[in-house]
Amino acid sequence: MDSVLTNDDLLTLWGMLTAHYGEEVPTAVLKKISELYLTVRGFSFASSCLELYKQRYKSQLQKSKGLRRKHYKPHNPLLLMNK
């Protein structure tokens, strides 16, 4: 994000667009816009990674037992009484 805020071309164009607002407001707005953009792109990237993971391991996930069934060993109360 720091590279976005120090890019000379971007700052020049942003200065032309927001020349009539003063100096502090456009800088704060540019920083907030870049933060929001990175947040949205980050969630989008994470979502696409999860979808790729699901597609890649779909067959393995369908064949495996659920977590509750995998480690659950049903006990017979009658067997416990005989001991």
Q: Would you state the pLDDT for residue 29?
A: 87
Amino acid at 73: K
Q: What mean pLDDT, rounded, does the chain reach?
A: 78
The confidence band for 27, taking pLDDT boundaries of 50, 70 and 90, is confident
DSSP 62-80: HHSPPHHHHH-----HHHH
Which tokens hold the place of 60? 């393995």
Q: Does the pLDDT of residue 51 top 80, yes or no?
A: yes
Is 18:26 a contact under the CB 8 Å cutoff?
yes
pLDDT of residue 71: 55
pLDDT tens-digit readout, 37-49? 999 999 999 999 9
Q: Which residue has the higher pLDDT, 4 or 79?
A: 4
CA distance 83 to 80: 6
Tell me the domain boundaries of the chain: 2-82
